[in-house]
Every structure is written in C-alpha cells, then in structure tokens.
Chain A
Amino acid sequence: MDSFIQQLINGITLGGIYALIALGYTMVYGVIQLINFAHGEFFAAGGYVGVIFLSFFTGLGYMETHPIFCLTASFALAMMYCAYLAIGVEKIAYKPLRKEARLAALLSALGVSIFLSNGLMLTQGVYDKAYPSELFQGGFNFGIITIGYLQVLIVCLTGALLVALNLLVFKTKIGMAMRATAQDKTMSALVAIGSNNIISLTFAIGAGLAAAAGIMVGLYYGSVRYDMGFLPGIKAFSAAVLGGIGNITGAMLGGLIIGMVEIFGAGYISGEYKDVFAFIILIGVLYFKPTGIMGENIDDTRV
C-alpha cells in the first residue's frame, strides 16, 4: 500500500510534465492542424536556458539571498526565450508552407527538430549539464513514503499553469480569438481577427509551457542534455493524441494517464515494459475511440 501511494505520487509528477508538453502539441494542432515535431526541442531549449540563468545567479550568490526571485526570473526568461524561438520557427519554417499540402509542413517540422537538437549539441556540448543542486533538496517523509519538495513544486506549478491557460483560452478576448481562428480562419479574419498574430501567439504559449516543463525536469532530475527533448516529445505527443488532439483538457488528462501508466507498469510489472504499456493504452484508445478520450466536441472547444 505504501509503495502504491509512492508510485501514485511519482505518476502524478511525471504525468504533469507530460501534460505541460502535450499542451503545445494540441494547441498548435487545434489552430493550424500541424503536428509540430519540433516542440520537444523547445522543451530542451527551455531546460538549457534555465540552467544557464540559474548557474549565473548561483555564481553571483543571489541564489542564497533571493531564491524565489532567481527562480521566477529563470522561469520567466526561459519561457520568453522559447516563446520567441517558437515564433521564429513558425515564421521561417511553417508560415511559407501554410498553403501547401500538410505533409510539407510536417516534414519541415521534422527538419526543424533535427536542426534545433543538433544546434543544442554543437553550442552546448555533448555532455550533461548539471543544475545547481542546492535547490529544493529533501522532502516530506511519511514512513516509507517520500514526497520531494520538487515534486510538490512541479505539481503546484503545473496546476497553476494549466488553470491560467484555461482562463486565457476560455475567459478572455484573446482566447475567444484563438478559438475562432481554430474554427475558421477566413471567417475570423472577416471579423477583424489577425490570424497570423493568433498563430504566433499559440506557438509562443505552447513553447513557453514546454520551457517551464524543461526547467522543472532539469531541477527534478538534476541535469539536462541536448537530446532530452526527443523521448518526452514523443510521449507528450501520444498524450495529446490520447486525450483527443486539439483538445486542451484532453491533453492534460492524456499526460496524466501516460505518466501513471508508465509508472505503474514499471512499478508492478517490469521496468523494461513501461513504454510498451504507455503505447498499448494509446493504441487501445485509438482503436475504440479514434478521436481520443475527449475528442468529441472537437469543433467548439478546440484551440
């Protein structure tokens, strides 16, 4: 029982990270029907920007005097950096192909992914980069169960970001414009919504969330490396498909499910099969419900 609760906590933490990355896939798909395979690279870039700033602050000694400020600043800077990176990628690699067949943009996305990942390797080196380790070590102990401070931080921050995103999409004018663009670009243009700006904004928000996930992964696991975006990218993509691609709530749910299934598969059956379980669930859902778990009202709530 104790291990069960511990595994549940592990699953929520991992699932939260997948959910944050999955949102970027699902939002971009909602608006321009493109699977942005470069999305995992925004996550990796976020992790790197985070380690660069956190090490910088630690070097200056601010980390000990103003930890909250340093952490907030690092998150903000990394999220902004990745947002601009994503807007740039969209302008260079996807916008010129928007009128072409969908396959062209998809291939372009794959190319961007390889380009960014190798760019990270060449500029940052092939070795792991360690996060400053003094941050949030330790945790709460209840008998055999340990909840790390970082796990609490990840779950809280993920929750807060998800709530903020939901408010943005469903309660503001900008969110309404995004939903309108997702439904019909021509029609929304007629009521004076600049679809190019909205598409840029969608990329920026998705990449910002991925960057936040990147820093959290760096803090939680202690290091980042240039190829860290690939596997979580694939898993988060599966999560988005599982939840119903284009659906924000679905992406969150999909992320949590994939995280849980992985942890419980590894914990109760065998560690080597954890990816297999995650993808069996995916195949099963797609077989019986091809639109994904939450994919039904795809027309009015998708972004």
Chain B
Amino acid sequence: MSKKNFSIMVMAIITTLFIISASSAESLKIGSMSPLTGPYASDGTDIKNGVLTAIEVFEKQEGGIPGYDKIELFPQDDVCDPRNAVAAANKLINLKVVGVIGAYCSSCTIPASETLDEAKIVMITPASTNEQVTDRGLPYMFRMCGRDDDQAPAAAKFMKESLNAKTIFIIDDKTTYSQGLADGVSKNSKALGMNVVTHDHVNQGDKDFSAVLTKVKAANPDILYMSLQGYSPAALMSIQAKRMGIKAQIVTQDATFQPKFMEVAKDAAEGVYLTYGFTDPTTPEYKAFQQIYEPKYGKIAAYATYAYDSTIALLRAIKAAGSTEPDKIKAELMKLDFNGASKHVKFKENGDSGSSYIAFKVQNGQFVPYWDPAKGLIK
C-alpha cells in the first residue's frame, strides 16, 4: 500500500467516525417554505423568523420534544413561484421532515401541498388565504390565517357601512391571491348595491402605476380598492395616488399588514384602511412572542405571528402524539385548543382555523383597529 493510499484510507476512516458521531445526536426535522429571495423576500423572511422564534420558545419553555436533542429547521426558498414550491416540497420530503410551515403565496401552497400530501406530511400555512387551499379536502393541509371568502365580505361590508361608499375602483396584480380576493370584493360589493366602476389589473413587479392611477383620477370613485401581493407595491401605489391628488379613500387587504408599509409610504400611508385578522397585542401569549422576536428581527410584521402559532401548534401536536406518524400528528392537531399569540387556535374538520377579519386604519404610523363587522366602530 502506497503512502498516498494509506493516508486516504486513514482520512476515510476518520471522516466516517465523524459522520457516525454527528448523527448520534438526534434532531427533529421540520421544514418551512416561503419566498426568501425575489419580490416577496421580506414577507417570506418574516415567516421564517416567526418559525425560528417558535422553535426557540418551544425548546426553552416547553422543554423540546422527548427523544430529540433539538429541533432543526430546514427553511426552503420558493420565490413565490409554483415550480420552485414543488421542488422545495420534494426536497423536504427527501430530508424526511415531520411537518412543513408554509407557504406564503397561495399559488405556491396549492401545488406544494399536493406533493406533500402524497408523502403524508402535515403542512400548515400561516399566510395563504385563497379558499382553494383547504377546499380541496387534502387531509394533511391546515391553515392558521383566515380565508378570502371571509375577508372579501368583511371588506365590502366595511366600505358600505362604515365608509358609506357608492363607487369602487378595484386594482389587482393578478396573483392567485390578489385576483381571487379582488373578484370576491367585486362580487360582494355589487351584492351590497355598490357600483364597481372598473376592475383593472397591473403586473407583479410594476413600480409605475401612473397610467392606471390617471384612470382612477378621471373616474373619481369613492374608494380605491388595492388588492396587491405584498406591502411594497401597495406603498408605491399609495405614494403615487397621493401625489396625483386622488381623493378616493384607499382600502386594501392583509398583505399590506407590514410596518414597512408606513416606513416606505410615510404620509401617503396615513388614513389607509385595510382588513386583517384581529390579534390582541395585550395577551400574555403575544407578549411572550414579542419579547423573543423583536430584539432579534425587529418589529413584528405581517405573517410572523401566524407562522409562530403554526409552528407551536405543530410542535405541540408532535409532542402529544409521541411519534412522528402523520395520522397521529393529525389527530393531535385536531385536538389542540389553546390561546396562541395571534388568536385562539382550534382547527376545524377541513383544516381551517377560522377568520377574524376586522378593518384597521393607519394612524400616526401604526395599524389601529378601527371597525369590527360584528360590532361596528372600535373605540
């Protein structure tokens, strides 16, 4: 045996030993799926940060999961692109994760969940509000946020009853989420007797909305309803609308619920209304989340809270099941009944956990709860 061969052999033995010793520390694998690059990278990063916070809190305060040294997260980047989402789902299946938190875009959650469901992996979406996410009857699909067919009527009712609107101009940017919601708002508004003047579309990634806003100005509606994916285009459109002197009241939706919206749009954000699930920031659960999250990642944004609750729900179900068998985890998920940071968590038969949409108003750079469909104005 030559010297070279011998040294290679020794190295091979040493590496093998290391591999063995490394794998003796058992970790529970979970996955997350959200856009970490591309136009929705900020919203996707919020989700990942929420999941990481939940793992940290669960390990510290609930002692982790018996039989495992730690909980390991495999964050996947789907770029809000259905093809990447399916590829990410396959990768997570190969990694043998026990559950997946994600995705952000409905257009990703829908195809990725089909793939994960075949492998019997539980998926909880913190952010995809399109009805089709849970309406397909997939057994392992759960949802922490609300549904668009609850959000659209709430928005329409708000515009009619609180803002006394008669005419509405709707703009969406043609994603599964934004267009689905815009169609819902259009239908519900008409049903309530309001007039939808125009329903126009823009493209994802557009920065210049001057052409469509000129149309809005000419139409002079009571309401400009913006259904755009993410806070970034919403901020740009608000700025441009203000600069053009558009008098219509801007109403928008849950994707804009991001403190960055006010940071970018500044004055133009003031007085904008939006619908989002009601979260009580005074509960001890929310404060526990806030304490860990904010020093590390900054102000709590859009879907971080739902991502946190989704992860806590998944980990509690795994712990209660005492195994990683999908059907046992599902059974435990259905039994869960606890106060989360975002809301009270109790899954229904179809995997939904209920909606609690209210209208918020931007005041002094804050989202202030403004109107509740059940109770009217919030004092």
Contact = CB atoms under 8 A, between A and B. Distances in A.
A270 B208 contact: no
Nearest to A259: B208
Interface stretch (A2-10, A76-84, A201-209): A2-10
A100 interface: no
A262 interface: yes
B108 interface: no
Nearest to A276: B203
B284 interface: no
Task: For chain A, give the interface size range.
Answer: 35 or more
A139 B37 CA distance: 36
Interface string B242-280: 011100000000000000100111111000000000000
Contacts of A7: 210-211, 214
B262 to A, nearest CB: 10
A126 interface: yes
Task: For chain B, give the interface size range.
Answer: 35 or more
B264 A231 contact: no
Contacts of A130: 263-264, 266
A297 B48 CA distance: 55
B171 A271 contact: yes
A14 interface: yes
Interface stretch (B38-46, B51-59, B93-101): B38-46
Interface stretch (A103-111, A140-148, A175-183, A248-256): A140-148
- SS of B interface (majority): helix
A127 interface: yes
Interface in A202-249: 217, 221-223, 225, 227-228, 230-232
Contacts of A262: 208, 211
Interface string A16-56: 00000000000000000000000000000000000000000
B217 A144 contact: yes
Contacts of A127: 42, 260
Contacts of A227: 38-39
A267 interface: yes
A133 interface: yes
B235 A128 contact: yes
B243 A271 contact: no
Contact of A14 (B42, B208, B263): B208
A6 B240 CA distance: 13
Interface in B199-220: 200-203, 205, 207-208, 210-212, 214-215, 217-218
Contact of B264 (A217, A223, A270): A223
In the complex, which of the residues B174, B207, B215 has the most CB atoms of chain A within 10 Å of its own CB atom?
Answer: B207
Nearest to A227: B39
A272 B202 contact: yes
Interface string A100-138: 000000000000000000100100001110100100011
Contacts of A150: 243
B240 to A, nearest CB: 7
A274 interface: yes
B38 A222 contact: no
A263 B210 contact: yes
A3 B244 contact: no
A126 B42 contact: yes
B42 A271 contact: no
Given A2-B218, A222-B264, 18 more contacts: A10-B210, A13-B210, A118-B37, A127-B42, A127-B260, A128-B232, A130-B263, A130-B264, A148-B243, A221-B207, A222-B235, A222-B236, A222-B265, A222-B268, A227-B38, A231-B205, A266-B212, A267-B211
